[in-house]
Structure 1
Amino acid sequence: METFDEDPYVLLHKARAGDRHAREEFTRRFTPFVLRVASESVGRYVALGQDDESSIALMAFNEAIDQYDPGQETNFLTFAETVIKRRLIDYLRRETRRRQREFLISPEKTEEGYPDSFPVSLQERQAVEIFNRQQEASERKEEIALFKKRLEEFGISLPDLARSSPRHKSARRRAMEAARILAEEDSLRESFLRHKMLPLKELEIRTRFSRKTLERHRRYIIAIALIYVDEFPYLKEYLKETDSTVERG
């Protein structure tokens, strides 16, 4: 079937329906876009067929084709960019851990075989610690940028979120509970992500919190739910700390 002159979003629809040729053509057309996103994510030029990051990014692009919901207001390329960046962050995090292990435990063959480890100097340990802190800071910065973009899809800015966050522990506890239920229950989560708004009626029934309470803390509930739903490991860790603090209070 000829696909070369077709509209890209016709190709996307066909690709999602299982048309292998349409998927190949759609991916081919947007390979420059994929490589640009990959290069921006890792901070250097990524070449097709030469860098592992290009393969990771193309697999993520195909994952985005399968996961994209045309009913959402989000543009496909915006959605694909988010998926690509997340997969590259996961990949870089794994590579960082692997390199650290190789750096600290580097087998060197002797007459007796391969030793389990070798002595590491204080300077080498400090170098690893500095690298680890720098890598974590970079990952946190990238995660905040992705979170900010995700919030904007729901009409929320970080300053909006800061201004509307509950001040009292009891209010935070209720809002976090509502967000957790919203993220964990399939029907609520699907409605939330599709319409980009809280399913207030259903959420009111599930949580038994008043509609007024849910509306008052709408931005905060949305933000916490997105952290639960999406892959934001550092923000999730922050949530755990906040949750334990609220419980102790």
Structure 2
Amino acid sequence: MTDDQNVDLINRAKTDFLAREKLFHQYRPQIKYIASNICKRPLDWDTDDELSISLIAFNSAIDTYDESKGMKFINYAKMLIHHGLVDYFRKEARFQYASLDTLTEDETVNMFEVKHAYKNYQETKASESQKEMVEDFNQILSKFDITLSDLVDVSPKHIDTRNTLTKIAQTLVADPVLFSSLLQSRRLPIKELILLTGTSRKVIENGRKYIIAVALILGKEEFSGIKHFIRFPKQEGGVGRWQKFKAWYSR
């Protein structure tokens, strides 16, 4: 059924609940596609408020659509969905910018406000995501009796030492059995690491906290975003980077 053939159904849906339900069912995939395209990410009916906002806008489109204006219903619905999402994102500081090619020539948007809302969303979302990630990292560190302050204190000042400890952590992560043992027992498998790396017990014991922290970052996917803060193993300034990381988290 084409959009033009739907005009009678749309008109009936203004007062007929069953006709309205039929429209919702018929356009449901398009509503999801339009909203996902605007948000620039896949959306799920069960978890994403953006789709609820889109349904409300679609419902409003049914009530206010006027075929005499010469605009196709789906384009009119898209316009209302877009404006509804922009208002929602602006209020919630959660706007993801939609490019202009999602709009029809009949639509107008204050692009300065949209870009400003998008910038706020990106900054807020990134900060919230990073904070959550570091809070989770901090929690798992605590299970090993390690704090971010400890990492600042124990981070090697010399790049050779830092590289040695990082390679030990990489060796630990590369062995699924040893890494699993670390997570379960919360103890560094020192004997095994001595055999695998040829590093002295003293070096490994002194670098215990640093090795564990790096291993967690390298071995657990949810902490991969921390890598850009530390930039190990080959760059200078390891101590300073942990200090900046701790200072950022404490803001």
TM-score (norm 2): 0.51
Deviations 1:84-119 (A, max 9, x none): xxxxxxxxxxxxxx9625x235623469xxxxxx98
Deviations 1:31-52 (A, max 9, x none): xxxxxxxxxxxxxxxxxxx951
CA distance in structure 1 between the aligned counterparts of 2:201 and 2:208, rounded to whole angstroms = 10
Count the aligned residue pairs. 148
RMSD: 3.1
CA distance in structure 2 between the aligned counterparts of 1:182 and 1:156, rounded to whole angstroms = 18
The equivalent position to 2:47 in structure 1, one of 46, 52, 69, is 52
**Cα shift at 1:246:** 4.4
Aligned position for 1:108: 103
Deviations 1:61-93 (A, max 9, x none): xxxxxxxxxxxxxxxxxxxxxxxxxxxxxxxxx
**Structure 1 residues 246 and 188, CA gap change in structure 2 (3 angstroms):** farther
The equivalent position to 1:141 in structure 2, one of 123, 131, 140, is 131
Where does the alignment leave 5 or more consecutive residues of structure 2 unmatched?
1-44, 49-93, 238-251
User: In percent, how many aligned pairs have the same letter?
Assistant: 29
The answer as to whether partners of 2:182 and 2:188 remain within 8 angstroms in 1 is: yes
Alignment of 1:83-122 (within 5 A): 100=96, 103-105=98-100, 107-109=102-104, 121-122=111-112
Describe the SS at the equivalent of 1:232: helix
Alignment of 1:1-249 (within 5 A): 52=47, 100=96, 103-105=98-100, 107-109=102-104, 121-230=111-220, 231-239=222-230, 241-246=231-236
**Structure 1 residues 129 and 242, CA gap change in structure 2 (3 angstroms):** farther
Describe the SS at the equivalent of 2:164: helix
CA distance in structure 2 between the aligned counterparts of 1:147 and 1:196, rounded to whole angstroms = 14
CA distance in structure 2 between the aligned counterparts of 1:120 and 1:171, rounded to whole angstroms = 55
Q: Which has the higher contact order (CA 8 A, sep 6+)?
A: 2
**Structure 1 residues 189 and 105, CA gap change in structure 2 (3 angstroms):** farther
CA distance in structure 2 between the aligned counterparts of 1:133 and 1:108, rounded to whole angstroms = 25
The answer as to whether partners of 2:141 and 2:213 remain within 8 angstroms in 1 is: yes
Where does the alignment leave 5 or more consecutive residues of structure 1 unmatched?
1-49, 54-97, 112-117
Compare CA radii of gyration and give the structure with the larger one: 2
Amino acid at match of 1:234: G
CA distance in structure 1 between the aligned counterparts of 2:165 and 2:101, rounded to whole angstroms = 48
The answer as to whether partners of 1:173 and 1:246 remain within 8 angstroms in 2 is: no
TM-score (norm 1): 0.52
**Cα shift at 1:136:** 0.9
For structure 1, which segment, 126-135 or 199-208, has the greater mean C-alpha deviation from structure 2 after superposition? Answer: 126-135
